[in-house]
Structure 1
C-alpha cells in the first residue's frame, strides 16, 4: 500500500472550502503527507478587471495581495490547529488548469475540494468545470461535504468487481487507515424485465436472483482477500437494486462518513463525474465522496 505523500487542497475561501482545507490538514497530520494549500484568481476575472480599469491598475495588484494574505492566514491557522506544515501556492489563470498544474508539480496523492463554494468550487462538482478536471486528471479527488470533527470512522467502498476494485480498497485504507470498511456491491438480475415479458415464472427468476447474490458475495470476499483485508475487520453488503440508491441507503444505515467511488476502462475519467451514480451520490448522500481512477491507489 503506497503512502500518502502529498495532498493538494484548493480553496476559494468560502466556508465549505475551509471545511475541505481542514479535512486536508487532518489527513496530512494523520498520514504524514505534505500539505499544499492553493487559491486561483480566475484569469477571466482579471481580464474583466483589466477591461474596466486598464492593464496594470493598482486594483489588480491589490486583488492579488489580498488573496495572498487570505491564503497565508488560512495556512497559518491550519498549521497551528492541525500541527501540520503547510505550503501555499497562489495562481492566476483557468482554475482547473492551475489545479492540475500544481497537482503535478507537488505530485499530489490526493486533491481535496469543497462540495459547494463561492464560484468555481460549485461549478467544479455540478458543472462543466468538473467535466474538464476529471477528463484529464489521473489523481484521486476528495469532495468534502461535512464539517470535519474527527478522522473518518467508517468508509463505504462501492465495488463493481472491475480491476479498479482492489485499488479502491487500497485508496480507502490510505485516506482512512483506522476506519472500518464496508464493502458494498449492488446487483441486479440480468435481463429480469425481458424474462418476465418472455413469460419466465417467478420461481425461476427468484432462483436467478439467489444465484446472482451468492456469486456477488463470493466475488466480494475474493476481492477483500486480494486487498489484504483481515477477516472480521470489514463488513460485507451485497444488495439488489439500483447502485446509487443502495450506496446512499447503506451510507446512512451503516453510519459511514466517507464513500469511495471509481471507474475503470476507456474514457473512464470522462464518464466518471458525469455518470448518474457519482452525480446522484454527490447530490443525495450526506458523507464526503472520494473519487478514484484505476491505478491511482
Structure 2
C-alpha cells in the first residue's frame, strides 16, 4: 500500500446522497481512512456543511456544500476488475431496468458483494461495468448459491423507497425450491422465529429460537417426486437464510444445502447431477412511487430445469 493525501475539497450533494448521514457519506468517500479518524474530524469540526460544523448524525440535503479537510489515506491496491466475460454476463442477465432501479437475474455461485475471501462480488462488478453510473446499491441480498431476481437501486431515493416497501412487507418475493423428502401435506405456512448465532469457528448459522425475530414463510407444492418435493415459496418476512431454515424445521431441508441440509440426500442429488443448492428467486412484484406496479419473472435456469427431468 502507498500513502496518499487529499487536499481540502468541497462536494455538492445531489439527490443520490440526499438523506444519507454525513458519517456514512464520508466513510464511503474516504476509502482507506480508519473509521476512528473519520469520526475524529467530525468531532473536531474539521468537516463543514454550508460553512457550519456538522454532527455525525446530520442527514445531507440536496445542494449542501460539504467541506472535507486534508486527510492522508492508505491507497489500496487496485483489483483487476471483472473479466469481459463477466461484464457481458451481467448485462445480458438484466431482466428489468428503468431510471430508478434494475433487476438482474443473478447467476448461482456469484456473491452479491465482496468480502470473506471474495475480492469482487456482483455489485462491485456491475459498478466496474458501468463506471459512469453515479449510484448503484444493493436493495437486498441473495445467498451466493441462490440464483434469480436481485434488485439494484440506481438512485438513493429509490433505494429508500424499495427498502421501506420491503420493511412494510409490500414487496412480493417468490422462489422455487427443491426440498428433500415428501413435504408434509397441508403445511402451507410456517411461522417460526429465527435467530442468528455465531459458532466458535466464526461461522454464522441461523436457528429457530423463541427469542428470535418473527419469520413467516408460505409454501405451495408444485410437484412431488419419489424422494423430493418441488415448492413455490413466498416470503412474508425476509430474514437471513429464512427459506433454508424453515425447510429444515419442516424436516425437508433444501437439496444441495451444505449448511442446513442432510448429507445422504445431498450425496444422492449430486449423483443425479445437482451441482448446487436448489433455490431460485423466480418472481418479484414491487410498487413504485406513483402506485405503478412492476412484476418481474425469472424462469428456472437450465441447470436446475434439466436436473428436474432426471427425477421424473
Could you tell me the TM-score, scaled by structure 2's length? 0.24
Considering fraction of residues, name the structure with more strand: 2
Q: Higher helix fraction: Structure 1 or Structure 2?
A: 1
Normalising by structure 1, we get a TM-score of 0.25
Higher relative contact order (CA 8 A, sep 6+): 1
Rg comparison, structure with higher value:
2
